[in-house]
Homo-oligomer: A and B are copies of this chain.
């Protein structure tokens, strides 16, 4: 595996069907799952690693976002990445960014309400990755469900010839959704209630509940000592809040536990709709706990 700093060098090294897994680094089993899925779909697999400042609404969150390139390189190589595209700020933003890519109809709710400017930053940096690397397929985790919807719409609207593929959430053995920010969690019991609430809603759906407000209430009723930002049943494609769970959708939650902001969700896809509760890690693959930070 090669670590490359520029778009041009990356393009010069790829051939055949190109896969891309964009990341902000500090890779965990969720990323590995995407990489392994992508590996089977392409000839050349590129993972990108860039902590994109324009999608952070809080500078402290950006500053303390965990970084460990050596560890990420080893994980990426072991998972089957051919090229780790790890640009610096000079490559990504050589001049002040004057162009905005924005999908307001999908972005201005849920995460967009609580993280001002976040999705404009995401849409723009993903557009840059699609433009600069020209992948045929790009994979994003379903954990960022609204992001997946924004990126899917952006790529289609801008005629990028790329398949945007979502990957199921990977959870620790106790159900906590993997996140690079999990290292900051102090009250794990409270953090776990996000997952507990979502699984309760999935249970309720499987028992016949399709009313959006009722499903959202099931989640809220399970929550422990968390500062809730939102719980919404959202159309998976448009992110519009749904009155009834009668199409592909997700129930998303965001909450703060102590100083840590976490998000999680449960997807409903397929015909008939089936809950995607994510995949729990076995004991042997607790990659997340092996981090050296």
- Chain A residues with CB under 8 Å of chain B are 7-8, 11, 92, 95, 97-106, 123-124, 127-132, 134, 153-154, 156-161
Contact at A99–B103, with CB atoms within 8 Å? yes
Contact at B102–A7, with CB atoms within 8 Å? no
Q: Which 3 A-B pairs have the closest CB atoms?
A: A132-B159, A99-B157, A128-B159
Contact at B160–A132, with CB atoms within 8 Å? yes
Task: Name which residue of chain B comes closest to A132, CB basis.
Answer: B159
Task: Name which residue of chain B comes closest to A94, CB basis.
Answer: B156
Distance of A28 from chain B, by nearest CB (Å): 27
Contact at B159–A131, with CB atoms within 8 Å? yes
Interface of A, secondary structure class, is helix
Q: How far is the CA of A104 from the CA of B99 in the complex (A)?
A: 7
Task: Name which residue of chain B comes closest to A133, CB basis.
Answer: B159
Distance of A53 from chain B, by nearest CB (Å): 15
Distance of A50 from chain B, by nearest CB (Å): 12
Contact at A7–B161, with CB atoms within 8 Å? yes
Contact at A100–B99, with CB atoms within 8 Å? no
Distance of A270 from chain B, by nearest CB (Å): 22
Q: Which residues of B contact A103 (CB under 8 A)?
A: 98-100
Contact at A99–B132, with CB atoms within 8 Å? no
Task: Name which residue of chain B comes closest to A120, CB basis.
Answer: B100
